[in-house]
Amino acid sequence: MPVVDIHTHVYPPVFTSLLRSRNAVPYIYTDEHAGDRLVILPAEDTASTSRGRPIGPEYYDIKEKLAFMDAHGIDVSVISLANPWLDWLPAGEAAETARKVNDDVERMCAEHPGRLYGFGTLPLSAAAEEVVAEIRRLGGLKHMRGVIMGTSGLGKGLDDPALDPIYAALEETRQVVFLHPHYGLPTAVYGPRATDYGHVLPLALGFPLETTIAVTRMLLSGVWDRFQKLDVLIAHSGGTLPFLAGRIESCIAHDAHLKHEDRLEGRRTVWDVLKKNVYLDAVIYADVGLKAAIDASGADRLMFGMRPDNAEVTSTDFGQAPIIRSSHPSTRERQSG
């Protein structure tokens, strides 16, 4: 059974060059002592002790990615652009940049047949018709298996009705949405001493809660009622969604406002969506969280994922996962770790 890693990021040459050419967030700069540093959030740009975060060649040199795969027994990787994706681009530049970045990823995959596949990146700051056009173009690229998106959507969240034509195109072309956090929570929620604790609070708590809030808003707005075949792969084992699904469902079912608005009749439950539309990766770092993910969505909907800067990830047999499809024998619908 081949090992397929579906959560592994790259900054392809086109995107890396773009970041190196900038001096406003997001950008890459070189520190004479610390080497290359990536700044992707405003708070990192003004940090007094640690400006940005290290970015090593495992993110932009595909030879390093393949060496990492070989070292950890990974047969196939489905690579995706890491955050902040293209959300920050001016509308007039987004579509062309997305095509260049996606073509660069497709090229990298084609140069290593059977080992690399990709999730494309969408020009979400562009007009909806341009986003839809890129979705349809991605559907024709040999090595693309879906798209990666953050939680802001077109800027107003994943429950924004303006996303409906984009969801429709993704559903029609049978492309999975790999949902990944980026923005976290407002810094104020961590308290006045938050900066004493490095990146721990925003990464350990901000990312999972950002994810859970975004997915719950999708559920509340009826995204999966309107697009019942839309598949979403949620990063980091769904944030806190597996643990909080019961509480979310109870709050929805007993909410007086939703009852008054007559929005409860005929809706799909969070459990139904988790079992039929949601896939989870295994980037959760402990058996307790992994078991919660299995209980929420099922072992057949859990996929292996390994961050390049943290190889100690709990692994298990994840059964069949039909969103990664290819005629190549090393990518047949079975995922394991």
Per-residue model confidence as pLDDT tens digits over 85-122: 999 999 999 999 999 999 999 999 999 999 999 999 99
| Among candidate residues 62, 57, 15, the one with its CA nearest the CA of residue 40 | 15
Specify the DSSP class assigned to residue 164.
H
State the pLDDT at residue 300: 94
Percent of the chain with pLDDT over 90: 79
pLDDT at 334 over 60: no
**pLDDT surpassing 50 at residue 332:** no
Q: pLDDT tens digits for 228-251?
A: 999 999 999 999 999 999 999 999
The number of CA neighbours under 13 Å toward the Cβ of 252 is: 22
Q: Tell me what pLDDT residue 196 has.
A: 87
Q: Tell me: the pLDDT tens digits for 180-230?
A: 999 999 989 999 998 788 889 999 999 999 999 999 999 999 999 999 999
**Residue 30 resides in a domain:** no
**Domain assignment of residue 47, yes or no:** no
- Dihedral, CA atoms, 118, 124, 129, 135, nearest 10 degrees? 10
User: HSE-up of 113 (CA within 13 Å, CB side)?
Assistant: 4
The tokens for 288 are 């307790």
133: domain CATH number is 3.20.20.140
> Are 300 and 318 a contacting pair, CB within 8 Å?
yes
3-class secondary-structure state, position 220: helix
- Give domain status of residue 269, yes or no: yes
Backbone angles phi, psi at 203, to 5 degrees: -80, -45
pLDDT in tens, 33-54: 888 999 998 888 876 556 888 8
Task: Look at residue 265 and tell me if it is in a domain.
Answer: yes
Mean pLDDT score across all residues of the chain? 89
Structural domain includes residue 275: yes
Cβ 272 vs Cβ 221: under 8 Å: no
pLDDT at 285: 92
| 254 belongs to a structural domain | yes
The Cα–Cα gap between 268 and 205 comes to: 28
pLDDT of residue 32: 84
Q: How many domains does the chain have?
A: 1
Flag whether 308 is in a domain.
yes
Q: Does any domain span residue 78?
A: yes
Q: Which domain holds residue 239?
A: 4-9+74-336
The DSSP letter of residue 310 is B
Residue 48: its pLDDT value, please? 55
pLDDT at 50: 67
306 band by pLDDT with thresholds 50, 70 and 90: low
Confirm whether pTM is higher than 0.85: yes
